[in-house]
Amino acid sequence: MTFKLPKISFPFVKKAAKPVVFIHFLTEKETKDWLKKQDKTAQNQVKSAGFSGNKGETLILKDNKGQVDKILAGISEKPHYLESATAAQAIQKELSKDFISKHVFEVAKGPKTETLTKIAIGWGLAAYTFDQYKKNDRLIPVLLWPAKADEKEARATIEGICTIRNLINTPPNILGTDELARAAKDIAETHKAKFKVIKGEELKKQNFPMIYAVGQASPRKPQLVDIKWGKAKDPKVTIVGKGIIYDTGGLNLKPPQAMRDMKKDMGGAAHALGLASMIMALKLPVNLRVLLPIAENAVSGNSYRPGDVLTSRKGITVEIDDTDAEGRLVVADALTYASEDKPGLLIDYCTLTGAARVALGYDIPAFFSNNEDFIDDLRHLSLKQDDPVWPLPLWDGYEKEMDSNVADLINNGKGRAGAIHGGLFLQRFVDPSIDWIHLDCYAWEQNGKPGRPQGGADTGMRALFHFIKNRYS
Ligand SMILES: [Zn+2]
């Protein structure tokens, strides 16, 4: 196994060995004050360009010889962490490769630590590109590290987000079940965490029947990754991530458009690893465990079928209504296993239902919790972190829509509440005494935004990081 994730680029230097170009990050109000102190050449350029310091505006100012003098970048009073990415991208677009390669960019005096950290994060994320299989000659502008920015936080955030992007973007012929487990092992080793994997027939022997059943049709063996990190005395936090490396839908085969991006069906596992890498890098005082049920939902003579009845690890029997509702099966066994260890907080990330997208669109994961106090706390905090997640109810009135004539329940629901059925299904496998949060996320940036290219993307990772940090530090 030689699979390695691409290296994450950090476009920063600690010392400028080349001429420096200053970037003035200014709010609308600061722009007015700043402008008064400038000479006519600068004032005229700002006026004719209509630069007002609005977020997303960038202006390259020239001196009276026509040379690049400085850069203005509009920023909000409380900036979003991607705002600086707009400036980084404008530089790439408007300045020559020759100029970029011969200069270092520096944040001009003004912003405080919190803003500087966000500027660094946005700058780092703007440098991301997935060019393993398509060379590009893009030149990434290098920023002199803003001395007062929180380097640990910025690095851990960039690394967490880019890990998610790389894992999801890697094509499914390259990232199989072994390779995803291998990537998890590399991340564990980076942070000196314990790593274990249960694979293939061993899953049957150790009683993970639903993980095995979903993955049995693929030559790439299903597995369960188990990572442990932290001190035994600290509170136990367990993160589960759905790792379907490719989802054909199984015998209930998906139509072409719905199958097209199904390499992202391991996005839950990618989120679990991204969040874990942030927690470990920033050494949160928790006793962390990561469980990744990994399988390929493939079509073969031995695929599991609609009508099959599976007996789960918990002993609950499940009649298969739809082989495309495979994620909840593998995650259910992992949640049961996680519950046996009695964590203080149990989180799962799954790219689970199209219904969650109908409710909230691409950018906002739906979340569910059996702890009512979490509902408002997490929603508020996620908005503050510019990483919104939105609650949906675990409405027990819909439980009966998952009844089966021959088993305890079906792996689907009748009626329209698909995302809620997913949550209710998983809840059956969680010990009710454990605080649990389930995120139904998309894990994909549909349109592309500055600092957030189209493709694999984090949705709800930073929100949960801050939720855990607030709860335990
Ligand atoms: Zn599916």
* Other beta carbons less than 10 A from residue 378's beta carbon: 24
Per-residue DSSP letter, 449: B
Say how many Å lie between the CA of residue 169 and the centre of ligand 1. 18
Complete DSSP assignment for 18-66: S-EEEEEEE-HHHHHHHHHTS-HHHHHHHHHHT----TT-EEEEE-TTS
The phi, psi pair for 415, rounded to 5°, reads: 105, -170
CA distance 263 to 284: 31
Neighbours of ion ligand 1 (CB under 5 A): 247, 324, 326
The pLDDT, as a whole number, for residue 402 is: 98
Which among 85, 76, 87, 70 is positioned nearest to 35, based on CA atoms? 70
Per-residue DSSP letter, 281: H
Low-confidence ranges of the chain (pLDDT < 70): 1
Report which DSSP code applies to 263.
G
Determine the Cα–Cα distance for residues 249 and 247; give it in Å rounded to an integer.
5
The catalytic residue among 254, 379, 449, 469 is 254
Catalytic residue among 263, 314, 328, 428: 328
Taking the whole predicted model, whether its pTM rises above 0.85 is answered as yes
Closest CA to 467 of 327, 395, 367: 367
Ligand 1 center–CA 184 separation, angstroms: 22
- Report the phi/psi class of residue 154: left, alpha or beta, with left for phi > 0 and alpha for psi in -120 to 50: alpha
Residues 6+ positions from 398 with CB-CB distance below 8 Å:
413, 415, 417, 420, 421, 424
Q: Count other C-beta atoms under 10 Å from residue 57's C-beta.
A: 20
d(CA 351, ligand 1 centre) in Å:
9
Q: How many CA atoms lie within 13 A of 258 on its CB side?
A: 11
Whether residue 117 contacts residue 246, with contact meaning beta carbons closer than 8 Å, is answered with no
The residues near 454 (Cβ < 8 Å, ≥ 6 apart) are 445, 446, 447, 448
Distance of CA 18 to the CA centre of its chain: 35
- Quote the CA–CA distance of 110 and 419 in Å, as a whole number: 45
Q: What angle do CA 445, 451, 453 make, to 5 degrees?
A: 35
- Ligand 1 geometric centre to CA of 254 (Å): 8
Q: How far is the CA of 249 from the centre of ligand 1 (A)?
A: 5
Listed in sequence order, the residues at least 6 apart from 103 whose beta carbon sits closer than 8 Å to its beta carbon are 18, 19, 20, 21, 141
Question: Which pLDDT does position 136 carry in this prediction?
Answer: 85
Q: For strand 287-297 and strand 223-229, is the pairing parallel, antiparallel, or unpaired? A: antiparallel
Assess whether 328 carries a catalytic annotation.
Answer: yes
State pLDDT tens for residues 320-332.
999 999 999 999 9
329, HSE (Cβ side, Cα atoms, 13 Å): 33
Please tell me whether residue 423 adopts helix, strand or coil conformation.
Answer: helix
CA distance 145 to 370: 43
Separation CA 464–CA 450 (nearest Å): 23
Provide the 3-class DSSP secondary structure of residue 135. coil
**Three-state helix/strand/coil letters over 300-327:** CCCCCCCCCEEECCCCCEEECCCCCCCH
In angstroms, what is the span from residue 214 Cα to ligand 1's centroid? 10
